[in-house]
């Protein structure tokens, strides 16, 4: 993704009686599933030429979507907006079987960029439904990921939006209940929801493995550490990015006096920095690192030139690209077949 220029000199360095610094959370930014999905759209454009259609936003980041549109991607809400026979990419958040069938009925050439960790949750839903379990799906109503997972077993899924929903949940058989979750939730809130569910349904089963993805958990752990010392936390990420919004909440719950989400560095307000000596910075799992660098540049203009990285985990996971895109145009295995890219 190209560099987004900041507006230099917009923020002023107001002298204070304490040294100013930035605590930069690590890990932050792109996760393996996002990287894979974005590269899938780029490579589909290389292979098939523009336009390539994408159902919903490929990932929840306004900058990524805008840049892919410039390259020839067209984002649609539903497959019936796509011309018959065209190429369509399913987003990282996944789709229900009904969407897959609708695309097939229109003769669309579908490329599935669903994050493999989301696919895992889909398979769990299918398996538990087959065994006639009632699935309590912890997640946010209307989120694409939740719609896709629920669509795998609509007659067996009950959505649980928050811990406060638990008293109103009714099940057919309290001895055959399992919980699954959206992958981008707050770990702490999800565990509180599970605790309350288990109080009502003591035989509630757990999924075979944790549904909340490694990247979501890692970014939350890192910002918890940063928030212990930061008076202000800035989270780079879009408003419809569940994991970015959760990072703001986690920061506030773990010591930050204030926390704000921004898409771009130009959204940082001078008044946020008044009387502040330590600023924490992180970014959601669908955010290019270039956007974080622009935030650091603008903060440096305001006197926050000292940057210390707070690292709580190492990430080296990569996922294979969709099978249609693992070779280059000459038919050779593509060097990006694992979805990795060099990070600036």
Q: Nearest-CA neighbor of 213 among 319, 291, 310?
A: 319
Which of helix, strand or coil describes residue 21? strand
The answer to the question of whether 183 is labelled as a binding residue is: yes
Distance of CA 35 to the CA centre of its chain: 11
CA angle 322, 263, 3 (to 5 degrees): 70
The answer to the question of whether 242 is labelled as a binding residue is: yes
The answer to the question of whether 156 is labelled as a binding residue is: no
Q: Using N-to-C axis directions, what is the helix angle for 187-200 and 214-227, rounded to 10°?
A: 110
Query: Which residues does residue 73 pair with via DSSP β-bridges, in sequence order?
Result: 52
The answer to the question of whether 241 is labelled as a binding residue is: yes
The answer to the question of whether 243 is labelled as a binding residue is: yes
Identified catalytic residue from 134, 145, 152, 294: 145
Query: Which residues does residue 109 pair with via DSSP β-bridges, in sequence order?
Result: 87
Catalytic-residue membership of 145: yes
Residue 186 tokens, joined = 């707050």
Burial class of residue 317 in the structure, from the number of CB atoms within 10 Å of its CB (0-12 exposed, 13-18 middle, 19+ buried): middle
The answer to the question of whether 342 is labelled as a binding residue is: no
E-state strands within the chain:
21-26, 52-55, 73-76, 87-90, 109-112, 134-138, 157-160, 177-181, 232-236, 258-262, 278-283, 307-311
The answer to the question of whether 286 is labelled as a binding residue is: yes
The answer to the question of whether 143 is labelled as a binding residue is: yes
The answer to the question of whether 265 is labelled as a binding residue is: no
- Binding positions for [4Fe-4S] cluster: 31, 115, 213
What residues are designated binding site? 31, 60, 93, 115, 143, 183, 213, 241-243, 286
Annotated binding site for dimethylallyl diphosphate: 60, 93, 143, 241-243, 286
Catalytic residue numbers? 145
């Amino acid at each position: 993704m190209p560099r987004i220029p900041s507006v230099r000199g917009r923020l002023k360095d107001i002298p204070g009686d304490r040294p100013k610094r930035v605590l930069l959370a690590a890990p932050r930014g792109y996760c393996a599933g996002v990287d894979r999905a974005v590269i899938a759209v780029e490579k589909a454009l290389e292979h098939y030429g523009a336009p390539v259609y994408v159902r919903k936003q490929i990932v929840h980041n306004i900058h990524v979507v805008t840049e892919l549109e410039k390259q020839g991607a067209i984002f649609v809400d539903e497959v019936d907006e796509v011309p018959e026979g065209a190429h369509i990419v399913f987003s990282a958040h996944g789709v229900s079987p009904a969407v897959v069938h609708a695309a097939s009925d229109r003769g669309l050439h579908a490329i599935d960029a669903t994050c493999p960790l989301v696919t895992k949750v889909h398979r769990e839903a299918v398996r538990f439904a087959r065994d006639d379990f009632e699935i309590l799906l912890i997640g946010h109503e209307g989120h694409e990921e939740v719609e896709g997972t629920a669509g795998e077993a609509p007659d067996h899924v009950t959505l649980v939006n928050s811990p406060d929903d638990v008293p109103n949940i009714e099940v057919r058989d309290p001895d055959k209940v399992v919980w699954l979750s959206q992958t981008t939730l707050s770990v702490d809130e999800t565990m509180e929801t599970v605790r309350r569910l288990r109080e009502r349904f003591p035989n509630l089963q757990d999924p075979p493995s944790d549904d909340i993805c490694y990247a979501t958990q890692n970014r939350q752990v890192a910002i918890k550490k940063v928030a212990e010392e930061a008076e202000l936390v800035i989270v780079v990420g879009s408003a419809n990015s569940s994991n970015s919004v959760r990072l703001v909440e986690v920061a506030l719950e773990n010591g930050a006096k204030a926390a704000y989400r921004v898409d771009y560095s130009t959204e940082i307000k001078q008044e946020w920095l008044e009387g502040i000596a330590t600023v924490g910075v992180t970014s959601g799992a669908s955010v290019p690192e270039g956007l974080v660098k622009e935030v650091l540049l603008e903060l440096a203009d305001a006197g926050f030139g000292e940057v210390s990285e707070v690292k709580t985990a190492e990430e080296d996971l990569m996922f294979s690209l969709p099978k249609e895109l693992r070779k280059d145009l000459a038919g050779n295995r593509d060097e990006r077949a694992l979805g990795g890219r060099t990070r600036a």
